[in-house]
């Protein structure tokens, strides 16, 4: 039995076995953020991978020193903070995450996940396969936004 049954609602956990889920479940930290709170900022040390349990998180990039641009809303059941598991040498956030409403999130330290993935290669492979799919979907969405000119007024003022 899981200590955090909401883990089952995280989309990227659907391909994991019960044993794998229990290993991931043991590493969960729970954090609460109020509306408008920043979870991390661009350039910060990317310590954790997150999953939205309740609420909604906005992912932003800075177009310049005073102009953040929200590029994606992360709903419940979805991951963010991928730099903590992808950029394991530098672990630097390439964007910022802001609570759009009061939000509860799961947090996994990237270093703990990395250690777990070395101990259980199959779990690591399945998990990172899911992460690569997220990155591909987000890159495709960004390309559509660029092609549609969604950022062009903001880029012209940057």
Q: What are phi and psi of 141, to 5 degrees?
A: -65, -40
Token pair recorded at residue 38: 């920043």
Higher confidence at residue 73 or residue 67? 73
What would the mean pLDDT of 149-154 be, rounded to a whole number? Answer: 51
Q: Which residue has the tokens 């591909």?
A: 136
Which domains, from first to last, does the chain contain?
Answer: 5-149 (2.60.120.10)
Question: How high is the pLDDT of residue 71?
Answer: 86
pTM above 0.75, yes or no: yes
């Amino acid at each position: 039995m899981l200590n955090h049954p909401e883990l089952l609602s995280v989309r990227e956990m659907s391909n994991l076995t019960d044993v794998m889920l229990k290993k991931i479940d043991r590493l969960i930290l729970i954090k609460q953020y109020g509306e408008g709170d920043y979870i991390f900022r661009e350039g910060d040390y990317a310590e954790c991978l997150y999953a939205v349990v309740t609420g909604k998180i906005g992912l932003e990039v800075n177009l310049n020193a005073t102009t953040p641009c929200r590029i994606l809303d992360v709903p419940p059941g979805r991951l963010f903070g991928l730099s903590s598991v992808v950029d394991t040498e530098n672990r630097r956030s390439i964007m910022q995450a802001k609570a759009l409403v009061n939000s509860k999130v799961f947090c996994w330290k990237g270093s703990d996940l990395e250690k777990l993935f070395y101990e259980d290669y199959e779990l690591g492979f399945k998990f990172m396969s899911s992460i690569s799919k997220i990155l591909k979907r987000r890159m495709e969405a960004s390309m559509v936004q660029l092609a549609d000119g969604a950022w062009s007024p903001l880029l012209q003022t940057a």
